[in-house]
Amino acid sequence: MEKFMKRSMSLNLPALRIRIISIKCISSTKHFMVFIKHLGHGGDILLVQVYVDDIIFGSTNEEMCREFEQVMKSKFEMSNMGELSFFLGLQVSQRQDGIYLHQTKYVQDILSKYKMNDSNTYGTPIPVNHGLHPDKDGKDVDYKLYRGMIGSLMYLTASRPDIMFYVCLCSRFQSQPKESHLIVVKRIFIYLKGKPRLGLWYLKQRLFDFKAYPDSDYDGCNLDRKSTSEYIVAASGCSQILWIQQQLRDYGLNFTGTPLFIDNNATISITNNPMKHSKTKYIEIHHHFIRDCAEKHLIELVKVHTDDNFADLFTKAFDRTRFEHLVNMIGMFNPE
């Protein structure tokens, strides 16, 4: 997209839908309030996202943006807020070399709210050997405080996948939070204090591609010591791939044959060799649809070394060196 624009408006949503459809914008098959307009075969595209009384729209052709703005202004009362820079707590920096998404202001706000501004910082959100467990004999803490901190962090994961695993791990103890759990949550805040501007970086000249990385953590859960096989994780990832493929087709992009990078040879073997299915009767039948997707060339299973599996970041804790490497690999960026 050349530029994304934001317009704030007050109107009746059904009327808006009728108006957008009347100017030949097609509703997305996956998002009820996303509208798409294509200009000729393989030509420019206009995207319109409606959220309550706000509209974000962008196009590969700036003229399409201006035309859409004029049409909407002629039918609705709108206030012009210019180029998109801030939306629902998400900051958008549109530069010559790409787009940078971050929540720096939100990080500073929650640090102030929970009085964590004066703390020292850590290189990782939690230690490798964190040992988190229910801690039934531990000291109780204010559950409202704990849940509030978890909720604040959950909203931050929109632009901070580096803390996703750790926030989800701590969220398991919201019903009966203990002092040991609160200490770990506070450490996540302390980590954020050291890297408040870390965000997602989308380079303009980088080749646009679609790849997937599933992963599982065997016996890593201290709560029940249960493991989820890599095969089942891959099947779940496959369903997400199909959803995204359809969304991209709405935008005129076809990514059939999406590579699914897996660091487990057995998963690839079971998927590609039907003869092995007699040995996997313990797996629910619905998980085997990944084989059908592979046969239809919707996905392609590719072996990747464990060290290069980006999904590791979302399944386990690491030391600072490995953690920072993975954060870098998934495209996170700190302008400082």
> What pLDDT tens digit does each residue of the chain (336 aa) get?
455 555 444 455 555 655 665 666 777 777 778 888 887 655 788 888 888 778 888 888 888 888 888 888 887 777 777 888 888 889 999 888 888 999 999 999 999 999 998 878 899 999 998 888 899 999 999 999 999 999 999 999 999 999 999 999 999 999 999 999 999 999 999 999 999 999 999 888 777 889 999 987 755 555 554 555 787 888 888 999 999 999 888 888 889 999 999 998 888 888 887 665 555 655 666 667 888 899 899 999 999 998 999 999 998 899 999 999 999 999 898 876
Q: What per-residue confidence (pLDDT) applies to 25?
A: 73
Q: Are residues 280 and 303 in the same domain?
A: yes
Domain termination residue (choose one: 55, 84, 113) = 84
Q: Is 209 domain-assigned?
A: no
Q: What per-residue confidence (pLDDT) applies to 88?
A: 81
Q: What per-residue confidence (pLDDT) applies to 16?
A: 61
Q: Is 326 domain-assigned?
A: no
Q: Is 34 domain-assigned?
A: yes
DSSP assignment string, 45-82: EEEEEEETTEEEEEESSHHHHHHHHHHHHHHS-EEEEE
Of 121, 95, 90, 117, give the one whose Cα is nearest residue 106.
Answer: 90
In angstroms, what CA-CA distances link 130 with 38, 176, 195, 222, 247? 51, 18, 21, 10, 38
pTM of the model: 0.82
Q: Is 327 domain-assigned?
A: no
- Per-residue DSSP letter, 21: H
Number of domains in the chain: 3
Residue 281 structural domain: 214-308
Q: Are residues 41 and 109 in the same domain?
A: no
Q: Is 322 domain-assigned?
A: no
Q: What per-residue confidence (pLDDT) applies to 10?
A: 47
Q: Is 94 domain-assigned?
A: no
Q: Are residues 186 and 235 in the same domain?
A: no
Burial (0-12, 13-18, 19+ Cβ within 10 Å), 3: middle
Q: Is 300 domain-assigned?
A: yes
Show the 3-state SS of 184-247. HHHHHHHHHHHCCCCEEEEECCCCCCCCECCCCCCCCCCCCCCCCCHHHHHHHHHHHHHHHHHH
Q: What per-residue confidence (pLDDT) applies to 118?
A: 83
